[in-house]
Amino acid sequence: MSRIGKKAVPVPSNVTATVTGQTIKMKGPKGELSFTAPEELKVEKTADGIEVKPVEVTKRSRSMWGMSRTQVANLVKGVTEGYSHTLEIHGVGFRAALKGKDQLQMLVGYSHEVLHKIPVGVEVKVGGAKQEIVTVSGIDKQLVGQVAAEIRAYRKPEPYQGKGVRYQGEYIFRKEGKKK
């Protein structure tokens, strides 16, 4: 039995949830999201909220149960609060800037500038005194995390000097350099 899956997902008053077959649609103040549950699960709307239950107890249905309930909870949080990741750029001359509304331009130690296309549904802001703070926000948790990971992947933080793009609050294990 899934401890997470057993709990119903409460739906706030400012969110409208509709369940049609395996598809759950949430509409809230920030926007609209949907999720299609696997066929092994039964999704229904009750007085407590949205409940996810396995049709029959198999290994696959048990493994999908908690994940699907969490996906529905992410929909509720996305349309009410939204998600955001903050990235810090460390290094001499390293900085970021928005180029139009759909591209992020970064100078991260290469001979050329790095351009990252921002997908629809994600908002990117650049701040800080030296344009070293990049905030990625949106209503879709998966998409926001994916864009933040792609931006970080252009120049991961290295352990010797700590230069690169890192998540805010991320600890970088520092190594000692060569000794003579």
CA distances from 26 to 51, 79, 123 (A): 14, 7, 20
- Say if residue 61's pLDDT is above 80: yes
Q: The domain 83-167 is classified under which CATH number: 3.90.930.12, 3.40.50.300, 3.40.1800.10, 2.40.430.10?
A: 3.90.930.12
Token look-up 């969490």 returns: 70
What gap in Å lies between CA 47 and CA 36, rounded to an integer?
Answer: 21
The whole-number pLDDT of residue 163 equals 94
Could you give the residue ranges of the DSSP H alpha helices within 9-80? 59-80
pLDDT of residue 128: 85
How confident is the model over 131-180, as pLDDT tens digits? 999 999 999 999 999 999 999 999 999 999 999 999 999 999 999 988 88
pLDDT given for residue 101 in this prediction? 86
pLDDT tens profile 18-48? 999 999 999 999 999 999 999 999 999 999 9
Helix or strand or coil: residue 30? coil
Q: Are 137 and 84 in contact (CB under 8 A)?
A: yes
Q: Which CATH architecture has domain 3-80?
A: Alpha-Beta Complex (3.90)
- Rounded to two decimals, the pTM is 0.89
